[in-house]
Each structure stands twice: as structure tokens, then as C-alpha cells.
Amino acid sequence: MMTTKGIVTGIVSNLVTVEVDGPVSQNEICYIIADDTRLMSEVIKVIGKNAYVQVFESTRSLKVGDAVEFVNHMLEVTLGPGMLSRNYDGLQNDLDKMQGVFLKRGDYTYPLDTEKLWDFTPLVTPNTVVSAGDWLGEVIENHQKLKIMVPFAFEGKYTVKEIVAKGEYNILHDVVVLTDSNGNDHKLNMIQKWPVKKAVTAYKEKPRPFRLMETGYRPIDTANPIVEGGTGFIPGPFGTGKTVVQHTIAKQAKADIVIIAACGERANEVVEIFTEYPHLIDSHTGRKLSERTIIIANTSNMPVAAREASVYTAMAIAEYYRAMGLRVLLMADSTSRWAQALREMSNRLEELPGPDAFPMDLSAIIANFYSRAGYVILNNGEPGSITFIGTVSPAGGNLKEPVTENTKKVARCFYALEQERADKKRYPAINVLDSYSKYLEYPEFQAYIAEYMSPDWIEKVHYIKSRMIKGKEIAEQINILGDDGVPLEYHQTFWKSELIDFVILQQDAFDEVDTNTPMYRQRYMLDLVIGICHIDFIFEHFNDVGTYFRKIINICKQMNFSHFESDEFNRYKKQLEEALEEQPKVEAGN
């Protein structure tokens, strides 16, 4: 088959116009040859014999007349054993294999180790009938069982003709021979390739997700839970703690694989990920957290095309692991900079602009991307999931801008970080009243959480939210009328909302104990706080209310900082019981 060639006829920053001598297709990859350097590019628009390509590198020194070669396939990821603990860029180049401090233009590295031997265990026998995504064998990487599968690109049914015996092989060694319905044989090794912008559909069904994704974060798990296979996003202005929240979830969430896509992040934050992650201990296994983590990094000063590619590369890798029956957590920081890359390319193509000059189809692009996450039942009946949480960096903290608004339409969980809470040092600065989780309304989740936690769990969640709403309303009245301008019971209602805020909704991400709260402990503290909220205390003066509740809040916070049911925890629990006992109360029936 003849490959299409072309020559450069126009250059506008990273958008290059190429006159082609044959057929090309949307999203096809090509290489522009500039000064003996091959620059990877992607076709984003075709009009007649002109192809508009976005270059994934700097286009400096590129000139009209440079040769272009098309490769007849889309941007692909190379999938196989050996990706865990790797640091990739948006094109899946292995950053650790690259030489020097700065990335060289046109320097592409292979993402996998072709020489390492893997202990392969066959999972099928000859004459087994298989289809795309079915498991053929198994290898172990970083204590994780990974599956070697029928390539996702295969269509129809295949019969296993041969499969190698249990033993050590590298990823290039042919481990299985499949025969298609026409009698043709296909030799397969442990590698497969998949176009990043095409969703993997090698599964039986995709039901609504229902199982709680435990993050150890009370404002999420208790107030606005996310589920395995769910979608959420975290918008917030600069300095409100988006990155800390994301990193804490990545460290603590009950997931088999964590993929972090630093999409257009500032370079210092990316460096922080690279320097911190190798030293973090996984609270679930006691080993290095990096063992089950893949980092895909594109800083904000990299070309916009590479920034756009990075989120798709991350999602394609996540789908690969989901097809193994694993729970994958994908974190993207920040989808705003991905959307800005889309806007830049759209503007260069002189397309009709939408709101704030973003592409007119921005909502469809975001919806298509988020829809690739989810909970699936594989062909063999096993479940797998991709839980996707993105951050959004709205300019000036404006939550009405297009990226936030369009993400809100598709993400089921919304965690609004608030500047006011951050200024008051109430971290995480998630405003529980502006935030929401649609999963609380799902009958599947309601049935699951009633059995897992308690039958009245969702009632309790709604109770603390209604208490927070009352507390906020009273705070505004006190602010206008003064402390002595409202009845005493208003002060008590306000301070009970403060008790919920300080003890349940605030959490110290840097405290060894408080950073990660298991669900049994969240249930205990929630019941404790609600129990206090149900008590009608008697006070003589509004100053007494604040003094008393500050004491209660302080004791409860010390309980949060103590190991559950330790001597220290029980000592504070006893102090709390004594404090509750000594304060006069309204007798029941009065």
C-alpha cells in the first residue's frame, strides 16, 4: 500500500497546512521532516488536497516546502506489561529514557521494556473461542496480576490454535496463535496498540455504577460520595487546594491502578509529583504508592497539541486496565488547560467561536470524554471500572465559565472549592452546599449504601446538609442584626452547624491519622455529631453558647487526630461525655 506524502504550504504556530498527494483521514498521524528531525503531527481537518495538521512539538525552523510523510494510522498508545511506575509525556514517550534536562524536539522513546522477561501463565487452552478483550494469559507486575488480552481491534470470534506453556518471555515473544473465521492465523505477543481517541468497547454491558469509591476524605465519602466507575470534577480558583485534594484522593482511594494526567500543569507542580510520588507509602499495601501509579505529564509550556493528546492517552491506558477487571482511578489536572488547547487550535482553524471563544462543540467533546469512564461487566462476567476526577481552573474562580458549565452537565459529582473557605483555612475548602453527588439519588447506590453503612445513612447525610443551610442563614442574620439581635436558640443552631463543619467537613491532609478516615470511623463520628445536634442545651447568654461549643469542637477534633479507639481516643471520648453531661439540657417532653 502506497503511503501518502505531502509538502508544507503554510504555518501558523502549531497549525501546519500540508498539500497531500493521496488520501488522508481525520486524526491520522504524519511526520514533518524539518532539518533531519521528524516532528509528529495529527490531521485535524481535511479540505480537498489540503490537510491541516497540529504539530506535537515546537514548529521553530519549520519552513514551507518541508516534506511530510503520513503513516496511515491514528495517534495510538502501546499497551502491554511494564507501564506501571512509568512517567510518560502526552504521546507516551518514556520520560525516564530521555537524555538531558530538557526534552529534545523529535526525540521519541519506546514506552515499554522489550528485553525484560515476564512470568507468563496461560489462562486458555487450544480450541477455546475468544473475542476482543478476552483474557489469554496473565503476568504479574508490581504485585498486580495483569492480563494479556485478545487485541481490542479484533472483530468477531477467534479460536485459540496454540498458546505457549507457563514460563518467562519478553513482550515481543509470540505467546498465542488465534485462527479467525476464515481460517487465517494471527500470531500475538503481549503488546497491542489502540487509537487514543476511540473508546474501548470490549465488554458485555455498562450498567450504572453503584459501589462507593472510598477516598478516606469525609467531605466526599460522607457528604457527596463518588462511586467506582463514577465521574466527578473539582473546580476552584487558584490557591483553594485543588491539587492537594486530588493528590490525597490518589493516595488514599481504594483503586488497583492510579493514573495521573498532568495536563497543562505548571512545571513546578509536575516536578512536585515526580519528586514526592516515589517516596509515598500506599496505605492499602504498605509498599510504594508509585508501584500502582502511571504519570502522564504535559506542562503548560509544552505545545498545545501535546496537551490535548495527554488526556486521551491517559484514558486509553485506563481503559486497557479496566478490561483486565481492575478498578482504575484517573485524575486529570487540569481539564481547563485541555479545553484551552482545544480553543487555541479552533481559533487557528478560524472556526466559528462559541462562548468565551471555546469551540462550538466543547460540550460534546467533554461529554464524549467523560462517557469513556464508567463501570463495566466484561465478557467473562467480571467487573471493571474507571473512576474519573478532573479539576477545572476557572479564570478568577468564575464557576459560570464554559468549561465548568459544560463539565457540570456530564459529571455526576461536583466538588466546589471556595475561596472564602480557603481564606478561613477551612480545608479541604469544599463548599458542601454548592457541591453535590447525583449518586445519592441512584436507587442502586441507595440500596448498596443502606446495606454497607446503615439503612438511614442517606437520611443522615441530608440531615447534616440541612443543618449547614440553617447555620449559613443564621450566620447572615447575626452578621446583619448582631449577636444580641437574634434569639438564643439561633446561636445554638449556628454552633451546631459549626460542629458539623469542623468535625465532619474539615480534614487535615497533612496529619498522619486525620488524612485518611475509614468508613467505619466516618459512621462513628457522624452518629456522634448528629447525636449532639439533637440535644437541646440550656444557656443563659449567647457568649456561653460559643464558649461551650468551641470546647466540644476542640475535643471532637482531638478525637479525629487520635487513632480510632486508642487510649488517647477514649480519653477524649470520656472528656466529651463529661462535657455533655455537665451542660443543662431541656428535658424531653418540656
pLDDT reported for residue 271:
67
CA–CA separation, 149 and 194 (whole Å)? 13
Best-predicted range by mean pLDDT among 28-37, 340-349, 395-404?
28-37
- Taking domain 218-395+402-443, whether its CATH number is 3.30.70.360 is answered by no
* Model pLDDT for residues 39-62, shown as the tens digit of each residue: 999 999 999 999 999 998 888 889
Query: Amino acid letter at 475?
Result: A
Which band of pLDDT confidence, cut at 50, 70 and 90, is reported for residue 571?
A: very high
Angle between the 335-348 and 362-370 helix axes, to the nearest 10 degrees? 140
Q: What percent of the chain has pLDDT over 70?
A: 95
pLDDT reported for residue 299:
67
118-190: CATH number: 2.40.50.100
Cβ proximity of 315 and 196 under 8 Å: yes
Query: What's the average model confidence in pLDDT over 565-582?
Result: 96
Q: Which is higher by pLDDT, 275 or 534?
A: 534
pLDDT at 2 over 80: no
pLDDT at 264 over 70: no
pLDDT reported for residue 48:
93
Exposed (0-12), middle (13-18) or buried (19+): which is 205, by Cβ within 10 Å? exposed
- Residue 145's CB: how many other CB atoms inside 10 A? 13
pLDDT at 589 over 60: no
End-to-end CA, the chain: 90
The CATH architecture one would assign to domain 457-582 is Orthogonal Bundle (1.10)
Cβ proximity of 141 and 164 under 8 Å: no
In the three-class reduction of DSSP (H, G, I as helix; E, B as strand; rest coil), residue 28 is classed as strand
Phi/psi of residue 100, nearest 5 degrees: 80, 175
pLDDT reported for residue 126:
96
- Least Cα distance to 515 among 255, 219, 177 occurs for 219
Q: Strands 67-74, 28-34: parallel, antiparallel or unpaired by DSSP?
A: antiparallel
Average per-residue pLDDT in the chain?
91
pLDDT reported for residue 13:
85
Task: Locate the domains of the chain by residue range.
Answer: 5-75, 118-190, 218-395+402-443, 457-582
* Model pLDDT for residues 267-312, shown as the tens digit of each residue: 556 667 767 776 777 777 788 888 999 999 876 666 777 778 889 9
Long-range contacts from 434-439, C-beta under 8 angstroms, 24+ separation: 435/219, 435/223, 435/224, 436/224, 437/223, 437/224, 437/225, 437/226, 437/232, 437/412, 437/413, 438/412, 438/413, 439/209, 439/210, 439/225, 439/226, 439/227, 439/230, 439/412, 439/413
pLDDT reported for residue 309:
86
pLDDT at 481 over 80: yes
Query: What's the average model confidence in pLDDT over 65-87?
Result: 94
Long-range contacts from 453-458, C-beta under 8 angstroms, 24+ separation: 453/519, 453/523, 454/523, 457/523
Cβ proximity of 76 and 194 under 8 Å: yes
Q: What percent of the chain has pLDDT over 90?
A: 74
| pTM across the whole model | 0.94
Fill in the DSSP letter of residue 155. -
Lowest-pLDDT range of 33-47, 124-138, 523-537: 33-47
pLDDT at 228 over 60: yes
The CATH architecture one would assign to domain 5-75 is Beta Barrel (2.40)
* Model pLDDT for residues 178-204, shown as the tens digit of each residue: 999 999 999 999 999 999 999 999 999
pLDDT reported for residue 514:
95
Query: What's the average model confidence in pLDDT over 160-178?
Result: 97
Q: Which residue has the cell 479467525?
A: 180
Which band of pLDDT confidence, cut at 50, 70 and 90, is reported for residue 265?
A: low
Query: What's the average model confidence in pLDDT over 9-31?
Result: 93
CA–CA separation, 553 and 506 (whole Å)? 12
